[in-house]
Amino acid sequence: MKHILAAGIMILLFLLPLPAQDMQQMQFIHLLADKPAASFSDAVTFMTIAAGMQPKDFNFNLQVLKNRKIARGMDYHAAAPLRRGALSLMIARHLDLSDSLLYMVFGTGRYAYRACVAEGIMDHEGSEWDILSGGELIEIMNKTIERAGER
Amino acid sequence: MKIQKLVVIAIASMMCWIPALRADVRVLDIQGTAAFKDQSQWKPVKKGQALKEGTKISTGAHSSVRLKIDNATVTIRQLSMVRINRNLATGSATSTNLGLRYGKINARIDRIKKLRTDFRISTPVATSSVRGTEEEVSFGPGRGMIVQVLHGEVGASNRFGTSNIVRRGMKFHVKQGSPRPSPLLLSTWNKFITRVDPDDLTDDEKQMLERFGDDVWLNFEDPQFTSNSRAKAKVNLQIIFP
């Protein structure tokens, strides 16, 4: 009986921080929506959420994404403005986009962006050098998560 | 006697006056994470909770919230923020306005006889008004507003005064700062079963004929292509004009 009670208490203790973590995620999205320019750190946090994990600090999140090969070779500063090309590359790796031959060959942000346009995740009117706003990042990640669910 | 008259007048005037009431907005169910803000703080949304006019509702990744607003069922999809701008109801009419700041919502409005329903979804670029139908509305700063009608028809108008009636199969798409929406049937342009070409020649065939003249056709040995046999066929065409 004592064991069952102890196990119950342990489960409860593990579950207690969940609502607080969820509200942190909401807080992150609300702050992001008002940002005129999203940062690389914002994209890393969002990609961690999209990958189904609970985000922590920048270094932890980046390492998680690097382990999953989503952010392989990406050593931007956390506060660096987020460019469409860098985000496209992370998305293309996360969704494993393999329909674009040029992306398969070169694997650069430029062709990852074209692959994302072909998938309907990004708009064709732009370039890989565009700096994205917080609202745009939310919009693109919305499509990305939708696409990931369809696969 | 005077008091009796006053009482009768008061009762009669009370019966004639139908007040505009705040209609009921209730949370039917939640999937994942959702929060609401009625004053200053964001709090988690709970099932069965009633929401007031002016409340903002926001959903997280992999999450959604279903609301019941009078005769409408509204599903707020993941990563969306919605504000209940207006929600009034009298005995014979309801008026609802939802402000979609970003994300996607699905609204299904059931038509009820003798109840005038004014259901609007506003975004920073345009407004859609629904009467007894189902639609999906999304908005984002990059793509702008997209209205897709699943049943019935929807009126959509942008900030520059352009208005359209959107029916099933059509898509109302207007970008931020753009005075005109894209053609309503743009999404169906490439979804054809067959094409009708003048002179029974496709563009490629015409180009080939212009380049090589009759040489190609005359040197063709297959009788299927060289014979001039014609046959009649019955064809049903469904032509949709925007």
Q: Count helices and strands (H / E) in chain B.
A: 4, 16
Query: Vertex B101, ends B62 and A143: CA angle to 5°?
Result: 40
CB contact under 8 A, B61 and A27: no
Q: Residue B161 — left, alpha, or beta (φ > 0 → left; ψ -120 to 50 → alpha)?
A: left
Q: Roughly what angle, to the nearest 10 degrees, separates helices A40-50 and A134-150?
A: 20
CA neighbours within 13 Å on the CB side: how many for B237?
Answer: 7
Q: What is the pLDDT of residue B19?
A: 47
Give A87→chain B minimum CA distance, Å: 15
- Could you read off the pLDDT tens digit of each residue along chain B, which spans 242 residues? 567 776 666 665 555 444 455 568 999 999 999 999 988 889 999 999 999 999 999 999 999 999 999 889 999 999 999 999 998 888 788 899 999 999 999 999 988 778 888 899 999 999 998 877 889 999 999 889 999 998 888 999 888 888 888 888 888 999 888 888 888 877 776 666 666 666 677 777 777 777 776 665 555 555 555 555 667 778 777 766 65
Q: What is the pLDDT of residue B35?
A: 95
Query: Vertex A78, ends A35 and A132: CA angle to 5°?
Result: 35
Residue B88 structure tokens: 């009034």
CB contact under 8 A, B62 and A135: no
Q: Residue B216 — left, alpha, or beta (φ > 0 → left; ψ -120 to 50 → alpha)?
A: alpha
A148 touches chain B (CB under 8 A): no
Sign of torsion over alpha carbons A116, A117, A118, A121: positive
Which residues share a beta bridge with B153? B167
Kindly identify which residue of chain B lies nearest to residue A50, measuring between CA atoms. B61
Q: What is the pLDDT of residue A141?
A: 96
Q: Write the single-letter amino acid at B55.
A: T
Residues 6+ apart with CB under 8 A from B66: B27, B28, B29, B30, B73, B74, B75, B76
List chain A residues with pLDDT less than 50. Answer: 14-17
Strands (E), B46-143: 56-59, 64-69, 72-76, 81-89, 93-109, 116-122, 126-130, 134-140
Residues 6+ apart with CB under 8 A from B62: A52, A145, A149, B31, B32, B78
Q: Which candidate, A36, A23, A65, A14, places its Cα nearest to that of B32? A: A23
Q: How far apart are CA A70 and CA A47, in angstroms?
A: 9
Q: What is the pLDDT of residue B12?
A: 57
Coil, strand, or helix at residue A110? helix
Q: How far apart are CA A51 and CA A69, in angstroms?
A: 12
Nearest by CB to residue B140, choosing from A49, A50, A139, is A139
Output the DSSP codes for B17-45: --PPEEPPEEEEEEES-EEEESSSS-EE-
> Does the model's ipTM exceed the 0.85 cut?
no
Q: How far apart are CA A68 and CA B42, in angstroms?
A: 33
pLDDT tens, position by position, A44-75: 999 999 998 889 999 999 999 999 999 999 98
Residue ranges of B 51-80 with Cβ closer than 8 A to chain A: 58, 60-62, 78-79
Residue whose pair of structure tokens reads 């909770």 in the numeric block? B49
Looking at beta carbons, which residues of chain B come within 8 Å of A49? 60-61
Q: How far apart are CA A68 and CA A63, in angstroms?
A: 9
Q: How far apart are CA B211 and CA B44, in angstroms?
A: 70
Domains located in chain B, CATH noted: 16-186 (2.60.120.1440)
Q: What is the pLDDT of residue B18?
A: 47
Query: Vertex B119, ends B116 and B122: CA angle to 5°?
Result: 155
